Amino acid sequence: MDVDPRNPESVPVFEGDIQQPQAISVEETSEIAGEVRELVRAGRENAAWELIRHLHPADMGSIVASLPRPSREALVHVMSPETVAWMLRQMNPVVAGRVGTRLGAQMLTFVLSQIHPNQALATLRQIPTLRPQKVAESLAQPLVAEEILSHDPDTAGSLMATQLPMVDTNGLAEEARESLRTLRENRDKLTHVYVVQGSGVLVGQVGMVDLALADDTTPIRTVASSIVATVTVDTPAEECARLQHHYNLTQIPVVDGNRLIGVILSESLLSATVEQDTRQMQQVANVAGETVDGPLSSSIRTRLPWLTVNLGTTFLAAATVALFESTLTQVVVLAAFLPVVAGQGGIGGTQTLTLIVRAIALGELVGVGARRLLAREAVLGILHGVWLGVLVAVIAILWKQNLGLGLVLGVAMLGNMMIAGSVGAGVPLFLRRIGVDPAVSSAVVVTTVTDVFGFLLFLGIASASITLIT
């Protein structure tokens, strides 16, 4: 469908259809963002708004969020508060959270105070990263903060929608339809109607396809199926993401005891998955929770503690080297090869670590014994070490015309690659066993160990065989 998104007349329109805007590519979005920026800078906010008003709210949001603060505020003032709130509600929750944060609590409060409290609440609920409680309290007419706002942002409680269709287990398909019809929010996003008994005890579900195919008079029991997984408000978001992925679920009911109290929709589950993956990737580099465009102070708060911890660990490496000062004085060329041994060990260890951390997160290590994994990575380390050891020895011999140096370097390389494999696998497996998230702190431990042992091996062997080298 080659349709110009900015010319909605070219899109086929259906009766009673709110015009669905078309997807555009990242490049097109960037291009339009540039034009919008120019227009707003020239004081032509209305022209800028005309340019984006027919876009998909997800693209509209990206563009608004990309503007520098004064332009952003000028543009938001041209859009109606209802439009801004609608845009946030239509976007992927994680991205909406980012845009909301970019807008700032003040602008958001302004937007939300202009619209109906129910809409404001629904919007706030879409922005899980913003600690909505704070914004809710700062509104001129404080919202009746529903319990949902009190849940931790990383739990099922904060992801769930509380309005959902239910039908009694003795009911008919007609009643399930009625319950769908009376729903005010999220109606289009539901894939199941839940089957309950008595005072809301969850006993099953009816898929939307089965409901679509059922006659009004079909008893619900005959089209219902049982539930694969339920969670409670305290279930971590990452466990919800795992359940979705592992069991192919489109939505997960939230229960309190046996009672159905909410549902996590597919879009929230997907956002939880993507968010969790982002966090995991960032945790290995110790930058978790940061965005590329947030305030400097938050970046410093995230990164500096780890940089400082790491400084401590590099001094461990420095102290190891310092142990061998007299050897280095005799053969100063050894200093040049320090980064070779340590660097290779660090890279090898990180490769192993990354694989294991990700496999743990995806639940792929079921029944795969820790001992088997450790042995596997150690063997790989030896195989890599043999190749790299020979290579490094040959290069050193050719470069420095020093056979002894080459041999020492080769042996140290072999030893350190074996250590890198074992430690790269052992540290995350050990952390998981003692209940610590291996993504958070494995990297710093692994590189410290490979640095220290790499130097110990290299300089230790060199000292022991100093007559070979000098």
Q: What is the largest CA-CA distance in the chain?
A: 95
Q: How far is the CB of 134 from its own copies (least distance, A)?
A: 24
Q: Which stretch binds its own copies (CB under 8 A): 23-31, 76-84, 136-144, 145-153?
A: 23-31
The phi and psi torsions of 193 (rounded to 5 degrees) equal -105, 135
375 binds its own copies (CB under 8 A): no
Of 205, 264, 207, residue with least CA distance to 232: 264
In terms of DSSP bridges, do strands 192-197 and 201-207 run parallel, antiparallel, or are they unpaired? Answer: antiparallel
Q: How far is the CB of 466 from its own copies (least distance, A)?
A: 15
Please give the residues from 87 up to 106 whose contact with its own copies meets the rule CB under 8 A. 90-92, 95, 98
Q: Which two tokens stand for residue 187?
A: 């109606």
22 binds its own copies (CB under 8 A): yes
Q: Are 410 and 389 in contact (CB under 8 A)?
A: yes
The phi and psi torsions of 168 (rounded to 5 degrees) equal -70, 145
370 binds its own copies (CB under 8 A): no
Q: How far is the CB of 177 from its own copies (least distance, A)?
A: 6
Strand partners, 167: 195
Please give the residues from 386 up to 425 whose contact with its own copies meets the rule CB under 8 A. 387-388, 391-392, 395
Q: Distance between CA atoms of 408 and 327, rounded to whole angstroms?
A: 13
Burial 412-425, CB ≥16 within 10 A → b, else e: bbbbbbbbbbbbbb
Q: Distance between CA atoms of 392 and 386, rounded to whole angstroms?
A: 10
Q: Distance between CA atoms of 27 and 428, rounded to whole angstroms?
A: 39
Please give the residues from 427 up to 456 whose contact with its own copies meets the rule CB under 8 A. 447, 451, 455
Among 117, 153, 200, 207, binds its own copies (CB under 8 A): 207
Q: Which stretch binds its own copies (CB under 8 A): 5-13, 39-47, 77-85, 149-157?
A: 5-13
Please give the residues from 307 up to 366 whose contact with its own copies meets the rule CB under 8 A. 307-308, 310-311, 313-315, 317-319, 321-322, 325, 328-329, 332-340, 342-344, 346-348, 350-356, 358-359, 362-366
Helix (H, G, I), strand (E, B) or coil at 236: strand
Q: How far is the CB of 3 from its own copies (least distance, A)?
A: 9
Among 124, 161, 243, 449, binds its own copies (CB under 8 A): 243
E strand or H helix at 252, and its extent?
A: strand 252-256
Binding mask 180-199 for its own copies (x = CB under 8 A): xx-----xx-xx--------
Q: Is 131 left (phi over 0), alpha (psi -120 to 50) or beta?
A: left
The CA–CA distances, whole Å, from 185 to 119, 181, 193, 213, 264 equal 10, 10, 14, 23, 13
Query: DSSP strand E in 110-200: where?
Result: 166-168, 192-197
23 binds its own copies (CB under 8 A): yes
Q: How far is the CB of 149 from its own copies (least distance, A)?
A: 22
Q: How far is the CB of 108 from its own copies (least distance, A)?
A: 19
Q: Which is nearer to its own copies, 19 or 118 (CB)?
A: 19
Please give the residues from 110 up to 169 whose contact with its own copies meets the rule CB under 8 A. none
Q: Distance between CA atoms of 202 and 226, rounded to whole angstroms?
A: 10
Query: DSSP strand E in 112-224: where?
Result: 166-168, 192-197, 201-207
Q: Distance between CA atoms of 340 and 245, rounded to whole angstroms?
A: 41
Among 156, 172, 211, 427, binds its own copies (CB under 8 A): 211
Q: Which is nearer to its own copies, 166 or 229 (CB)?
A: 229
Q: Which two tokens stand for residue 345?
A: 């060990």
Interface with its own copies: number of residues (CB under 8 A): 154
Q: Which is nearer to its own copies, 78 or 208 (CB)?
A: 208
Which residues contact residue 278 at a Cβ distance below 8 angstroms, ignoring those fewer than 6 apart?
none
Q: How far is the CB of 131 from its own copies (least distance, A)?
A: 21
Q: How far is the CB of 30 from its own copies (least distance, A)?
A: 5
383 binds its own copies (CB under 8 A): yes
Binding mask 264-303 for its own copies (x = CB under 8 A): --xx--xx-xx--xx-xxx-xxxx--xxxx--x--xx--x
Please give the residues from 52 up to 81 whose contact with its own copies meets the rule CB under 8 A. 56, 58, 62-63, 65-67
Q: How far is the CB of 81 from its own copies (least distance, A)?
A: 22
